[in-house]
Amino acid sequence: MKTVFTHGSLFDGKSEHLKEGVNVVITDNKVTDIFTGDFSAEGFDQVIDITGKTIMPGLIDSHVHVSQSAPIPVLAVMRNDEFAIRSARYAEEMLMRGFTTIRDAGGETVGLKTCIDNGMVKGPRIYPSNAMISQTCGHADVRCYYSDEVWHGVHTAPLMRTGMFVTCDGVPEVLKTVRQQLFLGASQIKIMASGGMASYFDPLYTTQFTLEEMKAAVQAAADYGTYVMAHIYTPAAMHRAAEAGVMSFEHATLMDEDNAKEIQDKGIWVCVCPQFGGNGGLPVHHSKGRPTLLGSTPNKAKPTLEMMKKGLEHEAELINKYHLKFLFGTDVIREECAQDEPADRQLADLHRFNYYFGSYESLKAITGNFNEVVKMTTYQNPYPDGKIGLLEKDSYADLLVVEGNPLENVEILCDVNNMKLIMKDGTIYKNTL
């Protein structure tokens, strides 16, 4: 199958200016040529005129949990088959919002990824981390009650038996657990390096895993050609993780000046997830009838929200001041009974990115920057035959045709109606041109 998009404006995922009057040739699932000027339609199976439109790479959310389609208290009462069905729908919705690739930051996703890749269901490319790894009483220890125990190695808490969350303590256990996630198909490893808001028993300011344990995780991942990403908020945890060799800081909301200098020096990526800073002014419809995230841990979550908002502002200042490398990530979950909540949140975070970083840097964060992160997966890369997040020769044919110029205003992407065409792997999933 050979398709050509004609006479459009091109954002390639990295350039500061659009290239005008461009023709983009897709052969099967790859970009095989990009040129300007006249051409003959002979030899093409499909000619798509995009005059007045912008063609650009598909969007990338570098921090999602596609198998966690509800807050933890709701997940805790779900069956595994319910997880699977909801995950498939969640993935398809992301694709139809223009996200052609996601990095799953912890969950049970390899089976879903396989079904997407072989065409059984629709969804984005998935870079899976498999289980979130934490110490006992860490952020992936999602037991909800003191009565949730471990008997002969088996958790009594159902959610801990899903495979989405695992705990380990000490270097030997960490090594074994990381290797198990690699066996299960992880393209990178996700650890919990500090406390958080969605679990019950680890205060936000806890520093989790010792330096030796973190180094063990990094070493085990490096031995298999890949890297470690860490859920992380606090300065102490960031310093320890940087020393250990963690290469992607998820959230990093409370970073200080010393952290920023260390992140810059070591070339660490920051995945900015501004979920606690609001949703850019768009309404969010919360769930009814089941506990929500904030309702589940009120003593823990509510008092910290204002602090997190202020932290996000300072984090953005430091990212800009030290020119830190950063990614677009949302950490979205679906609120039960709120069918449009992820749509409100996932794209609405671009409002906040634009406010803090401007359209150009935000566009790179949601497209081309991820291609550099992919390189850290080396032979663990599940999609090694094409470039991700770029629109140039030898890129995968993952692209959008949009109304308007996103370099002038990235917020046009917050409205899916401006996405006139969505293509992933050479297949068109939406076309309203």
Helices (H) and strands (E) in the chain, counts: 12, 20
Whole-angstrom Cα distance, residue 312 to residue 320? 12
In whole angstroms, what separates CA 86 from the centre of its chain?
A: 18
Site of tokens 């089976």: 111
Q: How far apart are the first and last CA of the chain?
A: 20
Order the strands of the 269-272 sheet from edge to edge.
165-167, 132-134, 189-192, 228-232, 248-251, 269-272, 326-328
- The answer to whether residues 228 and 372 belong to one domain is yes
Judge contact between 272 and 313, C-beta under 8 A: no
pTM of the predicted structure, to 2 decimals = 0.92
- Ramachandran area for residue 337 (φ above 0: left; ψ -120 to 50: alpha; else beta): left
- The answer to whether residues 328 and 410 belong to one domain is no
Q: Final residue of a domain: which of 380, 398, 419?
A: 380
- The answer to whether residues 76 and 49 belong to one domain is no
Q: Which pLDDT score is estimated for 343?
A: 52
Q: Which pLDDT score is estimated for 296?
A: 41
- The answer to whether residues 100 and 211 belong to one domain is yes
Q: Which pLDDT score is estimated for 336?
A: 42
- Three-class SS state of 328: strand
Largest CA distance in the chain: 72
- The answer to whether residues 140 and 276 belong to one domain is yes
Q: Which pLDDT score is estimated for 288?
A: 37
Total domains in the fold of the chain: 2
**CATH number, position 183:** 3.20.20.140
- The answer to whether residues 38 and 122 belong to one domain is no
**CATH number, position 13:** 2.30.40.10
- The answer to whether residues 47 and 63 belong to one domain is no
Nearest residue to 287 (alpha-carbon basis) of 243, 339, 346? 339
Which two three-digit tokens encode residue 426? 């050479």
Q: Which pLDDT score is estimated for 294?
A: 35
Which two three-digit tokens encode residue 389? 């997040």
DSSP 13-82: SS-SSPEEEEEEEEETTEEEEEEES----TT-SEEEE-TTEEEEEPEEEEEE-TT--S-HHHHTT--HHH
- The answer to whether residues 168 and 199 belong to one domain is yes
User: What range defines the domain where residue 394 resides?
Assistant: 2-57+389-431
- The answer to whether residues 159 and 26 belong to one domain is no
- The answer to whether residues 329 and 396 belong to one domain is no
User: For residue 310, how many other CB atoms are within 10 A of its CB?
Assistant: 13
- Positions of the chain with pLDDT lower than 70, given as ranges: 71-73, 145-149, 151-153, 155-156, 275-304, 333-344
- The answer to whether residues 237 and 202 belong to one domain is yes
- The answer to whether residues 118 and 253 belong to one domain is yes
